[in-house]
Structure 1
Amino acid sequence: MSIDWDRRHCSRKGHITYAPDDLRLRARLHAPTAVGEVWRCLRCGDFVLGEPHGSGPAELAPVVPRGRALRDLFILRFLAVERVLRGLLVVVAAWAIWKFSNSQDAVRRLFEDDLTVFRPVAEHFGYDLDHSPVVDTIQKTFDYKKSTLHGVAAGLGAYALIEVVEGVGLWFGKRWAEYLAVVATAAFLPIEVYELTEKMSWFKVGTLALNIAAVLYILIGKRLFGLRGGHAAFEAERRSASLMEVEEAAGEPPAPLPVRQRPAGTAAADRLPSADPR
């Protein structure tokens, strides 16, 4: 079952109509009815009752995303939500590390007191807290310098900012955000692969697969870095799907056939002398 992205979007966001100055083109987008004039929506192609949303030269008509462009925008917005949520989680982690660095000694004492309380319970169930990998990792963090923790928090904050900015740009379909998404995501792929070699998990595998798919989709589909004709080819493809461009091309009169393509016999007739009207 195929999705009609044009009508789906218009049902949620409303139609977009435009009255071009070109009377020939205007006639293809406009029709009178018994209840009033109707104008053709530039996105879904349906005729809409009422005044057009804009008017002017055809070349200044809004380039409304249609078909595949709308599907691409939907996918980009899915990635945008994922990037923003990830950024917010990283912000929480950065804030937690910053707070921990400012009260490191108090947290150490609290942890050691709790560890003393839970040690008999853990021994009862045969669990050695003194040699627990989790406990050892937590205790090592208490030995980190405050400046080191501040640096980690600042690094996480910068990463979170990149993710949020990237997400906002992708939501609005900005081309600079697509470049940022490809570069930033590809830069962290080696780290994700290294983490998989250390410890395998389905979550890590899914995250890596999603990021690789996102990089390839944006890189190839959006023709970044000159691929498949680059930005010029991308804009030409986007405008070729515009209803205004389609109707304008459809309204062009057929070009005259060159002599070599005319039906047989016409070329010979062209060479015959014309009759003298006298």
Structure 2
Amino acid sequence: MTEVQNLKGKPGVKTRHKHDRWIQLIGGFKLLKGVLFILLGIGVLKLEHRDIVDVLTRWLTDWHFDPEGRFVNLLLDKAALIDAHRIKQIGIAIFCYAGLDFLEGTGLVLEKTWAEYLTLILTASFLPWELYEILRHPTWVKATLTLVNVLVVVYLVFYVQRNLRSRAEHRGEE
């Protein structure tokens, strides 16, 4: 076992790695999202061989939406266009997204450098689409989720830069 210096510069004493709480929190959030997307994917696949318009009509009635309302009619018209093949495609896409969330979350919780980069790239890559959606149909939920993702990207940029500087300084001391 190699000797390392602790924070006070004494050789021979191993230092304990300090966990970054925000990275752990982001990782936990990604894992939670992964679980939610798995549940959503299972729910979507259960609709594969069912009449989606009938199921949606029952849900909307149970939730006390106006069955003659413009929103309900638009939703039912769009749902009528979805066939079993499209349901399967949507389910697979949801499971793939859940897999990415599990990959990111696990890597962040285990403090892997590749996970920091992966999360930074993936989260930043979805921001333009999220902003477009907010401009098209603004809601508080979309705005809040986009703000959270912007904060994650900003934090990860600073975190990754700090780690790069730290590693460069460490290599310079050797």
TM surpasses 0.5: yes
Partner of 1:129: 67
* Partners of 2:152 and 2:109 in 1: CA distance: 14
The question of whether the paired residues in 2 share the 8 Å contact of 1:65 and 1:238 is answered with no
Partner of 1:64: 16
Q: Does 1:153 align with 2:91?
A: yes
The question of whether the paired residues in 1 share the 8 Å contact of 2:3 and 2:14 is answered with no
Bigger helix fraction: 2
The question of whether the paired residues in 2 share the 8 Å contact of 1:129 and 1:135 is answered with yes
Counterpart of 1:130 in structure 2: which amino acid? E
Any unmatched runs of 5+ in structure 2? none
Percent of residue pairs bearing the same amino acid type: 23
Q: Does 1:86 align with 2:28?
A: no
Q: TM-score, normalization: structure 1? A: 0.51
* Partners of 1:63 and 1:214 in 2: CA distance: 28
The question of whether the paired residues in 1 share the 8 Å contact of 2:123 and 2:149 is answered with yes
* Partners of 2:3 and 2:118 in 1: CA distance: 37
* Superposed displacement of residue 166, structure 1: 0.2
* Superposed displacement of residue 19, structure 1: 10
* Higher relative contact order, structure no. (Cα contacts within 8 Å, ≥ 6 residues apart): 2
- Picking from 114, 123, 140, the partner of 1:176 is 114
Counterpart of 1:65 in structure 2: which amino acid? H
What does residue range 1-278 of structure 1 map to in structure 2 within 5 Å? 42=6, 58=12, 62=14, 64-66=16-18, 70=19, 73-102=20-49, 104-105=50-51, 108-109=53-54, 114=58, 128-223=66-161, 231=164, 233-237=165-169
Count residues with an aligned counterpart: 168
* Partners of 2:142 and 2:170 in 1: CA distance: 35
* Partners of 1:65 and 1:142 in 2: CA distance: 55
* Partners of 1:235 and 1:78 in 2: CA distance: 23
* Partners of 1:64 and 1:169 in 2: CA distance: 19
* Partners of 1:160 and 1:234 in 2: CA distance: 32
* Superposed displacement of residue 128, structure 1: 4.9
Bigger radius of gyration: 1
* Superposed displacement of residue 143, structure 1: 2.9
Q: TM-score, normalization: structure 2? A: 0.77
The question of whether the paired residues in 1 share the 8 Å contact of 2:53 and 2:79 is answered with no
The question of whether the paired residues in 2 share the 8 Å contact of 1:79 and 1:170 is answered with yes
Counterpart of 2:110 in structure 1: which amino acid? F
Instruction: Determine helix, strand or coil for the equivalent of 1:178.
Output: helix
* Partners of 1:169 and 1:20 in 2: CA distance: 27
* Partners of 1:209 and 1:108 in 2: CA distance: 34
Bigger strand fraction: 1
Instruction: Determine helix, strand or coil for the equivalent of 1:222.
Output: helix
C-alpha distance after superposition, 1:10-69 (max 9, x if no partner): xxxxxxxx9959xxx8xxxxxxxxxxxxxxxx57x7xxxxxxxxxxx84xx655324xxx
* Partners of 1:239 and 1:63 in 2: CA distance: 17
* Partners of 1:63 and 1:149 in 2: CA distance: 52
C-alpha distance after superposition, 1:244-273 (max 9, x if no partner): x9xxxxxxxxxxxxxxxxxxxxxxxxxxxx
* Superposed displacement of residue 138, structure 1: 3.7
